Copies of this chain bind each other. A is one copy, B any other.
Amino acid sequence: MILERLNTYFKMKEAVIVTIGKELLIGQVVDTNSSWLGQRLNELGIDVKRILSVSDDTEEIIHALEYGEKNADFVFLTGGLGPTEDDITKRTLANYFNTELEFDEETYSWIEYLFSKFGRKPLEVHRQQAFLPKSAEILKNKLGTAAGMLFRKNHVSYISFPGVPYEMKGLFNDHIAPRLVELQDQFIYHKTIRTVGQGESRLAEAIENIVNNLPSEIQIAYLPSLGSVRIRLTGKGVKGSIENLVDDFAEQIVKILEPYVYGFDTELLEESVGHLLKERDLKIATAESCTSGLIGHMIGLIPGASSYYLGSLTCYSNELKQNILGVNAETLNKFGAVSEEVVVEMLNGCLNNTGANIAVSISGIAGPTGGSIEKPVGTIWLACGNKTRVVTHKLTLAKNREINIKYSAVFALNMIRKFLLHE
């Protein structure tokens, strides 16, 4: 026991995440809560040991609680706190911790207030949401009717959140994150190098020597996604010194992979593009077709984008390409909508009609239908440039519509990035 207590002093605090809801198991909902929680916990120096997704089922929830009790310092549960009959988490927790549900006046006043903002009164089922386990610490939910709950038992903390993502995030940030900051002793530090335009294996090959010389307290992982690869260095050690060690190795890697590196940590490619535009005081617009506005949407979604993003003209039909983007009917007839000639005219039309300094245009056959022998599904033309210089590129992708759209949007953003760096 003494040895265990000493080990506890040096050991990283560990958490188990339990997401509750049959909808997760049958895939009607993608579990974004556990990935968000995992990210936040790691930022706060807490190692996530395991994530479990279970049904709204008493036995399954109890199993998860028992596993957490034996193996972790924190058990985070999301889901099952709603006002309908399949929400059983609260009763299960009350039974597990041998406590009763008690009416909490403050929680009910809050529920009444939330409804009054819409000119309504709570229903009986919402009143039931104000019955909370007596031994739990109530975590006030500013964004919804389901209060969060915190239980302590044998040095393990159990935190129950509603499953609605923005409510869960609000509760975590309000009530839990500040307490976790206080608990930090050993520290996990991540540095992620974000690359685009080269495959995982060749990147790994290029930095092989550095990787072979990593000290034992630093690990490396490769996280590929469509068209880009994130390289993550993770160091465990003393806060204030492990960061420098990790950053040194990151710098060495960046020196070798520089043409492909667009950002770090959570910086999205479109954020990186936004920075480059802002630095140069340039405005951008997009002229799209098969990507259905995705490129512009990605650029525009970044907070503050309105300082460099003018807008996006998605023109599916040939008529719209002519009317909105000024593409010539003859060009369309001669070369077809999916051609270098047409994307160049889309680009020029976009620059002229929006007043943008730089634009990107795209026209292609995303699939699954619409291909021909000369232009099979996956044929996608792009153009990027300004009034003095234009770069074009033809992609030859496969038949998956979703992949084609997403990959070519990423490719387009990288074209913009490279164009701006080249200027």
Contact = CB atoms under 8 A, between A and B. Distances in A.
B39 A28 contact: yes
A314 B301 contact: no
A24 B51 contact: yes
Contacts of A313: 311-314, 324
A315 B293 CA distance: 12
Interface in A347-380: 353-355, 368-369
B52 A60 contact: no
Contact of A324 (B24, B60, B204, B354): B354
A222 B82 contact: yes
B311 A28 contact: no
A335 interface: no
Interface string A310-333: 111111110110011000000000
B27 A53 contact: no
Contact of A311 (B285, B320, B368): B320
A326 to B, nearest CB: 12
A2 interface: no
Contact of A23 (B50, B221, B299, B398): B221
A193 to B, nearest CB: 12
B292 A300 contact: yes
A245 B233 CA distance: 54
A26 B386 CA distance: 41
A6 interface: no
A1 interface: no
B52 A51 contact: yes
A182 to B, nearest CB: 21
A300 B398 CA distance: 20
Interface stretch (A30-38, A95-103, A130-138): A30-38
A293 B312 contact: yes
Given A31-B35, A296-B292, A296-B293, A26 B50 contact: no
Contacts of A353: 323-324
Nearest to A292: B300
A42 B26 contact: yes
A40 B25 CA distance: 10
A166 interface: yes
A27 B34 contact: yes
Interface string A205-247: 1000001000000011111110000101010000000000000
B86 A221 contact: yes
Nearest to A405: B301
A234 B368 CA distance: 32
A393 interface: no
Contacts of A204: 83-84, 125
Given A52-B53, A53-B53, 4 more contacts: A27-B35, A50-B53, A83-B201, A84-B200
Q: Which 7 A-B pairs have the closest CB atoms?
A: A27-B39, A292-B300, A293-B293, A27-B38, A51-B53, A27-B35, A312-B314
